[in-house]
Amino acid sequence: MDITSTVSIDDDLIEERFIRASGPGGQHVNKVSTAVQIRFAIDRCTTLEPAVRARLKTLAGGRVNRHGRLVLTANQHRSQARNREDARERLARLIRRALIEPTIRKPQRPPSKTQRKRRVGDKRRRGDTKRLRRSPGADDR
C-alpha cells in the first residue's frame, strides 16, 4: 500500500476483518458484514523509521492495542468495498501525519534593556497623544 511517493507499507502487515455494522438498516444489517476492521502491526513495519512509529502510536492513542496493533473500524458506507477503501485511506492519512517531523521550538531571547525602554517610551507617547485628544472634563464621568 503506497502512503507517499517514497513510503509504502507491505500488505502483509495489514489484517482486514469484515464485521457486521451496527445501526439502522433493517434485515440487511443483520445479514451482511459490511463494516471493515483493519489491524496494522506498527512494530513489525520496517519501512517506517522508529521515530515515525513512535509518533504514529502517539497520534493513534487509544486505537493501538496492547499488542502494538493499530485498529481502525470503518462502517460509514453501506458497501464493504467503500468501507475497506475508507479504512485504508484513514490509515494512510494517519501514517502521513506521523511522517511529518515536528519542529522544535526555541525559546525567545528576553528583550534588552534598550528595547524595554523604547517600548515603554512608545506606550507613554501614545497615551499622551490620546489624553490630549480628550475633551476637557471627560475625566469627571
Angstrom distance (rounded) from CA 85 to CA 90: 9
What pLDDT was estimated at residue 135? 84
Q: What is the pLDDT along the chain (141 residues), one digit of tens a residue?
A: 888 888 888 888 889 998 888 766 667 767 788 889 999 999 888 889 999 999 999 999 899 998 889 999 998 888 889 999 999 999 999 999 999 999 999 999 999 999 999 999 999 999 999 999 998 876 665
pLDDT at residue 39, as a whole number? 93
| Ordered domains of the chain (ranges, CATH) | 11-99 (3.30.160.20)
pTM (predicted TM-score): 0.69
Q: Give the DSSP letter string of 50-107.
A: HHHHHHHHHHHGGGB-TTSEEEEEE-SSSSHHHHHHHHHHHHHHHHHHHHSPPPPPPP
